Amino acid sequence: MSKKLFCKGLKNGFPISLIYFAVAFTFGIQAVKSRISVLWSTVISATDFSSTGQFAGVKMIELGESFFAVFITVLIINARYLLMGFSLSQMLPAKTSVFKRMVLSFFVTDELYALAYDNKQDFCVTYFLGMGIIAYLGWVSGTLLGALTDSFLPVRLQLALGIALYCMFIAIIIPPAKKNKNIFMAIFIASGLSCLLYAIPFFKKQLGFSIILSSCVASCICALVFPVETESETEKGVQNV
């Protein structure tokens, strides 16, 4: 059963891996243009696994910012993964070891989280590990090849590869939003609030805070307006009928 779910995770994560490869290819090009070596460009992708954080970090390095400033900025940008990790941890059996939870947390990204949440019936350690590994390989290999071939691609194609990640994320969240009004409202509120916060100078520079605040507010509003019934409440409703 575990092997079957792992293979299913690989299969479901393969399309994401292809998009990650394309976006990471662009990152590799950008990193080399920022005078970061091919080796260190690849190491960054292998240890961070975060598109927004990596692009921001490389840009700061190019501008001569201190490594402490880069560390704090990337930490803030990636802080949203804490929320996703908390959410996914609730879907794991209570007996799941801390080590396994730590391993899975490394592979948490926006797209993998959305895909895992949309496939709750299959979600488990082996399934998410399958998705995470194939996506991770696409990301790291894309960075390596992009760094090695930075001078061959025209600028327009590089820009097109850069927006591929956003197109894929939209394609992932639209189907469940069409099926569930709660998800649609959460996305609508979070997106609207994020746009409003972007007009504020502080949040414009600190995208991590903006994402976290938008997500928390949207989640709280939807939890109040569309509360999820507990098993006991559902049983009472059935008995009353």
Consecutive 10-residue runs of the chain (241 residues): their mean pLDDT? 85 91 87 89 92 82 79 80 87 88 91 86 89 95 88 67 66 75 85 85 71 80 75 46 45
Whole-Å CA distances, 202 to 190, 197, 205, 217: 18, 9, 5, 18
Per-residue pLDDT of 134-144, as tens digits, reads 999 999 999 99
- The pLDDT value recorded for residue 44 is 93
Handedness of CA 53, 55, 56, 61 (dihedral sign): positive
List the one residue out of 169, 158, 172 whose CA is nearest residue 32: 158
Q: Is 240 helix (H, G, I), strand (E, B) or coil?
A: helix
How many angstroms separate the CA atoms of 127 and 125, rounded? 6
- The pLDDT value recorded for residue 61 is 84
What is the reported pTM? 0.71
How many angstroms separate the CA atoms of 210 and 169, rounded? 18
**Tokens at 75, concatenated:** 């930490």
**Cα first-last separation, the chain:** 39
Residue 146 and residue 33 in contact, taking contact as beta carbons nearer than 8 Å: no
How many angstroms separate the CA atoms of 25 and 17, rounded? 12
- The pLDDT value recorded for residue 172 is 64
List the one residue out of 5, 19, 46 whose CA is nearest residue 130: 5
- The pLDDT value recorded for residue 40 is 93
Q: Provide the Cα torsion 178, 183, 187, 189; round to 10°.
A: 120
